[in-house]
C-alpha cells in the first residue's frame, strides 16, 4: 500500500475504557504492531498490572523485570526500562509486572502523583518534535490502560494528547461511557488541557447480527467524525494470537482481523494529530 505520513511530533495516544474486555489491549498491541509494519516508530507502555499487552508482544514481565512500576514509583528513565519487541522491528515496549497493582496505593503519598507518567514519557530522548528530536523520534506512544478509572488511568490521561476508546459492538456498549467522558472533562479542566478523544474504534464487530450494526450506528451518531471507518471483526485468530505470544499482525497477517487493524492504523496515521 501507499506509505503513511510520520507525524511532526510524537503522538501520545491513551487507549482507555474503564470497562474490561472491550478490546483495549488487543487494539493497543495490534494498532502498535500495524503502525510499526507501516514503517513508523512505536512505543507501547503497558499500564495494566495484568501485563496482557506485554504477553502479546512477547516481552518478559515476571516480577523483577524493569517495568512501568519503576517509571511511576521510582522515577526510572523510560529508555532504560523499554525493551525492543523481538518479533517486530520499530516497536518497543515498557512492560507491566504484577508490582504495578501496588502502585495505585504507593503513589498516593507521592508528590504530583498524577503526572508521573507524563514526566517519564516526555523525558524520553526520542519523544518530541522533529525539530528537536530528529529522525530517530518515536512517532507513536500507545498506553494500554487497566479497566478502571483509578490513579493509573489518570496518569495516562495526564500523559496523553489523544485518547483512543475501543467500543465493543455489544449490548450495553455505550454504558459507562458517560463516566469516562466526565473524567476526560475533569482532566482537561484541571490537569491536561490538550487531551482530546480523537479516535473511537469499534471492536469485535459481528456483521451478521443486527445488534452489532445497531451499536455501530449508535456509536457513529454519538461520536461522528472521531469513529474510524474501519471496524475490527470478531475473529478467533485475533483472540488466539496472544497465547502464542504474538499479535495477530504476525500470527496471521492475511486474516481479516490483521487486515482490519492494518487499515485502522492507516486511518489513524493519515488523519494525523487533531488540532
What does the binding site for ligand ADP look like in residue numbers (CB under 6 A)? 20-26, 52, 147, 203-204, 232, 234-235, 238-239, 257
- Closest-CA residue to 78 (of 112, 124, 46): 124
Closest contact distance (angstroms) between CB of 180 and ligand ADP is: 12
Strands of the sheet with 11-15, listed across from one edge: 83-84, 91-94, 42-46, 140-144, 11-15, 162-168, 196-203
Which CB, 42 or 145, lies closer to ligand ADP?
145
Site string for Mg ion, 110-139 (x = CB under 5 A): ------------------------------
Query: Using CA atoms, how far apart are residues 203 and 184, in angstroms rounded to an integer?
Result: 21
Residues 9-68 touching Mg ion, rule: CB under 5 A, are 24-25, 52
Closest contact distance (angstroms) between CB of 129 and ligand ADP is: 31
Which CB, 7 or 48, lies closer to ligand ADP?
48
Closest contact distance (angstroms) between CB of 21 and ligand ADP is: 4
Query: Using CA atoms, how far apart are residues 182 and 263, in angstroms rounded to an integer?
Result: 30
Beta strands per DSSP E along the chain: 11-15, 42-46, 83-84, 91-94, 140-144, 162-168, 196-203
Closest contact distance (angstroms) between CB of 128 and Mg ion is: 28
Q: Residue numbers of the site for Mg ion (CB under 5 A)? A: 24-25, 52
Amino acid at each position: 500500500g501507499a506509505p503513511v505520513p510520520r507525524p511532526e511530533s510524537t503522538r501520545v495516544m491513551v487507549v482507555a475504557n474503564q470497562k474490561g474486555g472491550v478490546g483495549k489491549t488487543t487494539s493497543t498491541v495490534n494498532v502498535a504492531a500495524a503502525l510499526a509494519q507501516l514503517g513508523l516508530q512505536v512505543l507501547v507502555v503497558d499500564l495494566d498490572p495484568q501485563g496482557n499487552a506485554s504477553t502479546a508482544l512477547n516481552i518478559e514481565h515476571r516480577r523483577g523485570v524493569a517495568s512501568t512500576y519503576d517509571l511511576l514509583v521510582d522515577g526510572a528513565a523510560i529508555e532504560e526500562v523499554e525493551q525492543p519487541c523481538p518479533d517486530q522491528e520499530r516497536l518497543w515496549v515498557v512492560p507491566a509486572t504484577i508490582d504495578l497493582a501496588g502502585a495505585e496505593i504507593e503513589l498516593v503519598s507521592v508528590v504530583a502523583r498524577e503526572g508521573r507518567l507524563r514526566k517519564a514519557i516526555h523525558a524520553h530522548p526520542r519523544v518530541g518534535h522533529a525539530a528537536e528530536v530528529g529522525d530517530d523520534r518515536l512517532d507513536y506512544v500507545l498506553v494500554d490502560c487497566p479497566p478502571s478509572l483509578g490513579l493509573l488511568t489518570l496518569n495516562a490521561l495526564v500523559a496523553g494528547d489523544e485518547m483512543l476508546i475501543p467500543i465493543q459492538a455489544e449490548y450495553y456498549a455505550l454504558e459507562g461511557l458517560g463516566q469516562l467522558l466526565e473524567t476526560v472533562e475533569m482532566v482537561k479542566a484541571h490537569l491536561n488541557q490538550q487531551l482530546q478523544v480523537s479516535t473511537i474504534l469499534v471492536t469485535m464487530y459481528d456483521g451478521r447480527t443486527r445488534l452489532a450494526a445497531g451499536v455501530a450506528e449508535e456509536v457513529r451518531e454519538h461520536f461522528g467524525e472521531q469513529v474510524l471507518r474501519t471496524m475490527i471483526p470478531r475473529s478467533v485468530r485475533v483472540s488466539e494470537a496472544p497465547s502464542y505470544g504474538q499479535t495477530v499482525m504476525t500470527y496471521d497477517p492475511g486474516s481479516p482481523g490483521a487486515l482490519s487493524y492494518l487499515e485502522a492504523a492507516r486511518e489513524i496515521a493519515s488523519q494525523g494529530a487533531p488540532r
